[in-house]
Amino acid sequence: MGEVDPAFVQEPDHRPKLSHIEAEGIPIIDISPIINKTVKDPSAIEGLVKEIGTACKEWGFFQVINHGVPLKLRQKIEEASRKFFAQSLEDKKKVSRNQTNSSGYYDTEHTKNVRDWKEVFDYLVKEPTFLPATPDEHDHQVNQWTNQTPQYPPNFRVVIEEYIQEVEKLAYKLLELIALSLGLEAKRFEEFFIKDQTSTIRLNHYPSCSYPELALGVGRHKDPGALTILAQDEVGGLEVKRKADQEWIGVKPTPDAYIINVGDIIQVWSNDAYESVEHRVVVNSEKERFSIPFFFFPSHDSEIKPLEELINEKNPPKYRPYKWGKFIVNRKSSNFKKQNVENLQIYHYKLA
């Protein structure tokens, strides 16, 4: 969601042509029928499923309102994020990520991958998180990754874990709606996440930039996971490439809404019925920006391939299977070393 590691950028980063269309663009969907358990009207759910399916097919993005995540909890994590990033660089680097632990702080100004104008703090949703030790398909070693917790603000861990619980509930509800929109059982995707998911929550800070025409908050890319659930502040900056005409559309912030985008995994599961769409973040010359994406990732041993229910003789599988853990470790490996080839992408698994 314009919120991924430099390693996730799909192609070499080029400075942007900053022409774009300022528009609300992507659909805003009220999901209260599936959140409010007192709603018994089947037609309300059917209408919601249709809206979600249309948004996934036509945009790959949508916003949700009446989503069930308490506003006070969101305000708490936004405040904690601001307090953390307001510290000195020396204090923030006390919890820097490294080659053996992907959680923690980093900023693009002081890393080898100087592409994006931002600083970040990553936190694992499940602790420990299990990931392969290497991207080598013949190496079966698995590492346990754990979180780093900053000393300031003092209640950081409590706030972020309370927030994770609520956003995770939303993620499962959204997966149900997407499954139903594809004609699948509501719980079809749950098996990939219920044990040992590798999801991450990220705090982003984009400082103001005096030369916004020379930088991007995050370069154009697609998200590799299943779903991304983004809370952004009132400053905005996220832009989505509209499928209909390939124009960059600025996503106007909607108070208390979440921006949802379909990732590469759902593109593969749906056999291209739904597409993961390019997006980027532009920087602001006057204002800093904060955002909090939740990356919903399956367990490391999940085999990602088109679902059997969605393929047939007329619609054969378009991708060969891949292991999620090996895929993501391959992608993360470029954070600490330069590579002569582009990062692994799902189109590398595309069948002729």
pLDDT of residue 8: 39
Are 300 and 193 contacting, i.e. CB atoms less than 8 angstroms apart? no
Taking the CA of residue 348 as centre, how many other CA atoms within 13 Å lie in the half-sphere pointing to its CB? 11
pLDDT of residue 24: 53
- 203 secondary structure, DSSP code: E
pLDDT of residue 11: 40
First to last CA, the chain: 29
Burial (CB count within 10 angstroms: exposed 0-12, middle 13-18, buried 19+), residue 339: exposed
Identify the CA nearest to 327 among candidates 293, 300, 309: 300
pLDDT of residue 341: 52
- Break the chain into its structural domains and give their ranges: 6-349
Over residues 32-60, the pLDDT tens digits come to 999 887 666 788 899 999 999 999 999 99
Over residues 95-121, the pLDDT tens digits come to 999 877 889 999 876 444 446 789 999
Identify the CA nearest to 332 among candidates 44, 5, 109, 105: 5
Q: Which residues contact 312 (CB under 8 A, 6 or more apart)?
A: none
For the domain bounded by 6-349, which CATH number is listed?
Answer: 2.60.120.330
Alpha carbons 248 and 143: distance in angstroms, whole number: 39
From residue 121, give the alpha-carbon distance in Å to each of 104, 278, 316: 5, 23, 41
Residues of the chain with pLDDT below 50 are 1-23, 110-114, 336, 338-339
Identify the CA nearest to 298 among candidates 331, 328, 260, 333: 328
pLDDT of residue 288: 94
Identify the CA nearest to 126 among candidates 286, 299, 256: 299
Alpha carbons 342 and 116: distance in angstroms, whole number: 17
SS3 of residue 46 by DSSP = helix
The H-assigned helical ranges of the chain are: 32-35, 42-58, 71-85, 89-92, 156-181, 264-269, 324-332
Are 12 and 46 contacting, i.e. CB atoms less than 8 angstroms apart? no
How open is the CA angle 254-273-224, to the nearest 5 degrees? 65
DSSP 64-91: EES-S--HHHHHHHHHHHHHHHTS-HHH
Q: Which two tokens stand for residue 226?
A: 């299943």
Q: Which residues contact 194 (CB under 8 A, 6 or more apart)?
A: none
Are 266 and 274 contacting, i.e. CB atoms less than 8 angstroms apart? yes
Any idea which residue has 């104008």 for tokens?
117
pLDDT of residue 2: 39
Q: Which two tokens stand for residue 46?
A: 């059917």
pLDDT of residue 182: 98
